[in-house]
Structure 1
Amino acid sequence: MGFNSCAILFSMLSIQCCYLLNIVIAIDTITSSQFIKDPETLSSKDGNFTLGFFSPGNSTYRYVGIWWKSPSTVIWVANRNQPLNDSSGVVTISEDGNLVVLNGHKTLIWSSNVSNTSNRTRSTFSGFGKLVLLETTKGNILWHSIQHASDTILPGMKLTSNETRRSEKHKLTSWKSPSDPSFGSFSSWSVNRPYMPEVFIWKETIPYWRSGPWNGRVFTGIQGMEYAYVNGFYGGDDGEGNIDIYYITRNESEPVIYNLNWQGQYQAKCWDDEKDEMRILWTSQESECDVYGTCGAFAICSSQSSPICSCLRGFEPKNKEEWNSQNWTSGCVRRTSLECDGVNNTKTNADGFLKLEMVKVPDSAGGSPVEPDLCRSQCLENCSCIAYSHDGGIGCMSWNGNLLDIQQFSEGGLDLYVRVAYTELDHGTNTTIIITVTVTVGSIIIVVFAYIMWRRRASNHPAKLWHCFRSTRGKNNKAFPLFNEVGTSEEYKDDNIIEELSQVNPKELILFDFEKVAIATNTFHFSNKLGQGGFGLVYKGKLQDGQEIAVKRLSRASGQGLEEFKNEVVVLCKLQHRNLVRLLGCCIGGGEKMLIYEYMPNKSLDANIFDPSKNKALDWRTRCGIIEGVARGLLYLHRDSRLRIIHRDLKPSNILLDEELNPKISDFGMARIFGRSEDQANTGRIVGTYGYMSPEYAMQGLFSEKSDVFSFGVLILEIVSGKRNSSFYDNEHALSLLGFAWIQWREGSISSLIDPSMYDPSHQKSIIRCLHIGLLCVQEHAVDRPTMATVISMLNSDVEILPPPSQPAFILRKNMLSSVSYEERHEVSSINTISLTDIYAR
């Protein structure tokens, strides 16, 4: 090849390289002569945001948009309703000075559509994905992308509230689908009622969700806003009768955005650099109660109740047939008419107010900036006022029409006072009380007498109480020969258990026939055995409808488990959470006591994490998901459930894994129910498992939420290390896992604790942070340990600075165990387990 040929080839390669380089060069300005064409991009100076052409999902159409980190996280789209059919699109400045998108035929697809522009304009791309159109000579901003929102709110973007002037530029509109960014069914904007703006999501023209009134600090209708990531919001009057609500990011390098997705949900998101994906921090509709007006007028919705809707006190369903079929849209109506006559409302039988605590107040409130006492008196003197509430940041709120979209919270919210008739109040006449007590006592006597007579006349008939039918009693059932020899003493015990479980609502529990359970487990065949514990054996079963179940059967030979059985039924019937195992029902009869659970195909955590043949399948993302899932389950038990529960026996064998390896906390036989005002309790009966018990509980019998936090910390260290706390020790120092972790932490070599089977250098920072959190949870003094709410915040926020841990408790395993006798160790070991694996020595 000659010299000229080589020169020509070199020139062509240079031109090609320059062209390719031009695609990825991080420019941040567009002019009439400097434009971008598909597939070129425009990058912000910080490199986090990109403007360019993309095709969403499965679509082949091309759109111009801005995305954050990845094209899968588009935050703004120009030509939403007019896509490009091919890759010939261009973004440039037109002759009239507008920013435009043109197709290959120079046809206008989209324009910034600013009037009074000149041909001396340019467009720049700044931080947080802000695209602006500037007048070149004076630098005036003519157009701003964040003032023309798509479906995402960015830091600094204002939601302007004005009831009379609703601006389209401050309105968010969802995508039609994940592959179609055109205008969808959901939209959102801020509505300003006197003194109390709030944010709405609309489905077409119907309200779908609302934030509750803004009190200058938080949206009062968003539960947990003071503690979660929906922080950093601000608001104020712009001087033109508008209320601007906006937020700022806590960390400019890791901003949070709020996206209105195609399903009508607001989601707070941040970018996870380690996982290279978007992480969802908060969702506006986490339960059916978050949907606007689910229960209709004069009803309250609680996601912790079953059914979720109930009429307010003093009200009854408007259409009882619909209500009983769980169609609550008709709502409720007043049961007793009011006696209100305004000025003379101080008479003997005057109306009064019932207090609802910690609720999302109803929609469509009126307001005035007055003190609480005056707020009450104003409502009391106005017969059209049917409810009022007061908040220090808002003032007085009152309602004259239907009370719609009330939601019960477990924390936060406001107090609502609802006007009811005198007879619905908590005080009645002495005559009413006497009549009520007399009728109640008389009814109890009659029922007890009838029950005694029934017991005397009972024959071989199956019991027709709410518990499972005793189908084997009095029968010579050859199919189940092992369970026919049942005496009257067993029947008497069964009846006592049933009476003690009377606090359980029959609707909350399925009661299984013994024969059906026996058939499902092939007469409890050994091949269906999943595991065993102090309680008894656990079997796999399959019901006639194909549903797989796990049956935990109390051993007849065991003196343990009866109290735990009753405790677990009472507790689990009242709890429901994605990270708690679901109790399907129980069977009591013929001396048999069985608990029926949903079946977990991946068995327990210890069967996976400590098995060398299985733990390799648990990569860091999976283990991190298990840790976060258990944390959320514990937070629900401690703070968010109808009952306040301390588990007291958290360990890997009591964490079950479903088909997707999502964790489910199980075994509530040791659990204790706390009152809302209780912080800790004392017991003389120490139950649980050494190695997971907090020092104050093991030594003094004191337990609290922090006892579960300690167990959770041990669990974290085991999940990350892949080693048991009860069997891990260093030969030289005889240390527990906690002690070994503490020494490695002090020496700056904590990474040596990480399980090699799942170690990934790209996740080292996240893994070490998790170990740090685990050490904070196992600190010796309970007051030093974080709450589960704080733990979840630590797990989900890499930017939060963690405090240094102090020395853990029980670092010398050998000394601790040698200080108690065998009988004492045996007494405090767990006596109730649903571990789906063989039992290991403790």
Structure 2
Amino acid sequence: MSPFLNFIFFTIAIFFSFQFHPISSQQFVIPNANFSGNNPIANLSTAWINSGSEYRSQTSTELSAIRPILFGSTYACGFSCNGNCETYLFSVFILGGDVSFPQVVWSANRNNPVRVSATLELTSKGDLVLRDYDGRLVWSTNTAGMSVAGLNLTELGNLVLFSAENSVVWQSFDHPTDALVPGQILVSGKKLTSSVSRTNWSSDEGGFTVSMTNKGLIASIGSDPPEVYYQNLYEGTKQSKEASYAKFENGSLDLYINPYPTYPDMSIPISQANSPQYIKLGFDGHLRVFKWEGRQWNENGDIIKLIAEPCSYPMICGKYGICSDGQCSCPGTLENFRRINDRQPNLGCSQVVPLTCNNSSSNHSFLDLEDVTYFVFEPDISDIDMNSCKEACLKNCSCKAAIFRYGSHPSNGDCYLPSQIFSLMNNEYTYYNSSVSIKIQIAPNEDKEEKMKVSLGPIVGTLAGIFCASLIIGMIIFVWRRKKKVEEIEEHYLDHVSGMPARFSYQDLEIATNFFVNKLGEGGFGSIFEGSLKDGTRIAVKCLDGIGHMIKKSFVAEVETIGRIHHVNLVRLIGFCAEKSNRLLVYEYMCNGSLDKWIYSRSQETPLEWSFRRKIILDIAKGLAYLHEDCWQKIIHLDIKPQNILLDENYNAKIADFGLSKLIDRNQSGVVTTMRGTPGYLAPEWLSAVITEKVDVYSFGVVVLEILCGRKNFDQSKPEEERHLLSLFKRKAEEGRLLDLVEDMQCNGAEIEEMMQIAALCLQNDCAKRPCMSMVIRVLEGVRDVQTDFDYNNLLISHNLINTIQQVDYQGVTSLLPSVLSGPR
């Protein structure tokens, strides 16, 4: 059958809701399976293109939309997405009442999602291959040349490549992700791996796993070595060299210690269901059962039942957090630990002074916690007293805490020296006594005031009779102490602002950047250097130059603003350093640098295609809409320009540099502030000193024109009548020759003219007439039509007003430095 007829067949099948009766899957292979009939089967040389979301999900979970390619009665397979559906997984999903209520139960590329126009192909050689929109190979079954005859989605939800003899060549059940479906088995050597979060489906190698062993079922967290927090082990005497396995049945999770037994050795009961159901390992370590009820998926139980629920889960309160009756707190005082996020105590705590590994135990001390225990205890040393346990931890550089358990007397107990600390818990459920001594770093003695007093003592004694000298010395001390106090207040303030990112020491960032060797470029107020954290994360470190008032104000504004917000189109602030006179910001690394080098430079070998430019414009709009409309406080960026738009490896655009941003309450219509921003992107209302978020909308309009026209808004190299892009744009619009401004994308003329009309709406003189960014997004996404009867007389300010804004002398204007960044400004 040709691929075209295949397509027609499946289209008809979907529209008429045929009920498929696919093959059954036995425990390990599918012997003598019948592949005839109206099964969801695909032949060789069949390909599917991900043309985007076809069905929007109506579930309350993270799945947003699917595009099925093979349908069964309970399962379907195809492309699925979450969030804003910018990326997709090839997956198998279990259906609820209909296609509007799917849940992903298996995925092929959870760590490497693809985009729209990606292709899935069952090749003529029998290989199932997934390629991204650019042809890059993402995933393959590697079954070419293995006599594959076709692809089948069974009634159990197993995706199978079968041979002409109806035997299994490859099956998805052999490659579990984070879920099990009824009839599926989990063989020893295979495991379920949790996702990073509710919305990030990629596997978390440092997260939770559930696996079957030849002794039973275990759940662990991915430390080094993994730490077990649940186990259901067989206590019999059977020994087998063959693989044991667990099988999900309706009513139980059966554990088979020997292969192919008549009865399971153990069964973990599950409530029976007369509707679709599945088991999923959550990002929080729970192994939950879900079933379809009415019009939604409901939890039908948790397989992992712990003695001290819920506090016995390793990350119930995050790293270093202490759990008590489900409530989370940090150990010690604010001098020792602080919450990662005050609004979310369950995210854990971080040490104020990071622990460093060195050969001297004199730099380490302990924070002692009585009647506190840990979710796991595997003694490293037995028959030892508490002090000896702590001494052993001091001598072991990788040891993070000394956990001590004993019976009647602390002189004789067991000692556990973990290399990582997850959640702790109050010792409320155990019969033994327990204490935890957390290793902490002793901060170096940097009390300069005391040193100054000591050094000044002899001088003051010598000059005791000389009033003038004493007065000078007194003035010096006063000024120095005042300056030191101001710095301490700023640092103390940042420590108590909720939701702050990680705090780094200056030494940490010296090591991460190899002592600031690889300079990426220069931006507002400082230089940027490339670096890598210990876990391999690439970073860009912005070092603010000088310690003046404007620098400090910009630093605090950036940390306080972007440190508490998270959006896919905003550059993520990983952390900061405020130590002595050093002010540094640590961002995620953006390998394609800033937007200006892609739209201004004529030396680019491959200029940005229209699809990329259109996507970048939409990304910028989404980032601004989040700042203006979705944050707890309205945030006005005040410096939107191509140098502050950064591109990642997939050319996703993210807004950066919040040093000039302004936070205003939702009920405020505007705010009075000093003029700030960059000439050429400033809205006319700046001259009135009363601004709203519409100044960002105006700047967005300028950036859109620069992206479309591939030039700066003011270009000294052009003839005088063409130097100002906005004036030239107005003139071309009145002449009906807008496409004269575009050099390399004439074939997309209609779309470009529509985009220019959007820019015109954003550039109106009257800020009240400019659209909000959410309205711009709806127009860009085609949900709403763009205004076509626009009066361009309302568009632009005069040359005199342009020159007035450009010539205003004020502190807030950022310098127009050439951007050569490969990372954030």
Q: TM-score range by the shorter chain?
A: 0.3 to 0.5
Q: Under a length normalisation based on structure 1, what TM-score does the superposition of the two structures give?
A: 0.46
Q: Under a length normalisation based on structure 2, what TM-score does the superposition of the two structures give?
A: 0.47
